[in-house]
Amino acid sequence: MRKERFAKQRKSKLQPRGDEPFQVLERINDNAYKIDIPGEYGVSSSFNVADLTSFVAGQRYQSAVIIGVTSLSVIDDCIACRIDPALITALVERWRPETHTFHLPWGECTITLEDVALHLGIGVDGWVVTEPSFLHRDELCSELLRNAPPENARKGAALKLTWLLSILRAPLLEEPTIHQLQCRCRAYIVYMIDSALIPNKSGNRVHLMHLNLLRDLNNIKKYSWGSTCLANLYRELRRASSKVGRVMGGCAILLQSWAWYRMSFIAPRVSRPETTYPLAKRWSGGRLEYRATPHGDSVEYRSHIDHMESYEFSWVLYGGFEEHLSRHAYKDMEI
């Protein structure tokens, strides 16, 4: 589409001159069509054929559509967050497994389902994520991934993450079938679940239980991934805070984002707005400025938290966020 049709959104010749895809709603005549274009573009929905080009969906677009149906595509927006191990260590030291809370100088606090829904953008209501009593590893992988794992990629009911990544990096046919695209998308969804959402402490394995739940891609959104993520994080915090705990699994993206929003005095500066949705997306990609923050220094994190004032912790954080966030963020508020 010519940039003149986007006067409010195209201010320079260096900016993109086209957007895609839009659905054709109506054929007005031989030279004009009515397009389903969002109102924020500030242009008429009627377009001359000279402004339009046929859209051909490529592999990347088709895969994005398939993953978008699952409701887990929002995790992809947060997966690039850089985790500060020093901050995680300082938080683990203040975790009390008896009450599932962090003990701070001015009281106790914890991560809730509301935090999960707003920071990660995933549902906290739905079917329970459970493990089946028996899984046939080779048959499951052959059916859902179109690849059977070699012997050196197996470890009990888990698979090595490096083997899964090799599937994702393998080139697809120029015109793949829907089944081939679905298998590739399942591999990527499992990767997101086991590397970001519900990672184990090894950090290098994926569980077949999660792959089994992806059999029907339309049902993925019906599971309560949010509550599973939170329960797993609680368990990993308990293990890490024990006397023998050395390595921690769990959703570090959620833990770090929660801490930076609640205790902004230890958070880096970032150009994205406070109400970016999901909230954890605010810290993903782009440049983070760590001026006057104890980045990478667990001793400084301890000192900052030990000497914090009561007003420096945001006990009621999300008031006023409603008008800026997606309605999807509040769909499970009754829980």
In whole angstroms, how far apart are CA 196 and each of 9, 177, 247? Answer: 34, 28, 16
Q: How far apart are CA 163 and CA 143, in angstroms?
A: 16
What pLDDT score was predicted for residue 280? 94
Token pair listed for 290? 């760590």
Pick from 73, 85, 86, 10: nearest CA to 41: 10
What pLDDT score was predicted for residue 324? 75
* Strand intervals (E) in the chain: 24-29, 32-35, 46-48, 95-96, 101-104, 107-109, 154-155, 158-160, 205-207
Q: Judging by beta carbons within 10 Å of its beta carbon (0-12, 13-18, 19+), is residue 176 exposed, middle or buried?
A: middle
Mean pLDDT of 226-254: 93
Q: What type of residue sits at position 138?
A: D
Domain ranges of the chain: 3-51, 63-330
Per-residue pLDDT tens digits for 142-199: 999 999 999 899 887 788 999 999 998 888 888 888 899 999 999 999 999 999 999 9
What pLDDT score was predicted for residue 51? 76
What pLDDT score was predicted for residue 15? 44
Residue 81 · residue 280 · CB < 8 Å: yes
Give the confidence band of 231 by pLDDT, cuts at 50, 70, 90. Answer: very high
Mean pLDDT of 228-243: 95
Q: Taking the model in full, what pTM does it have?
A: 0.79
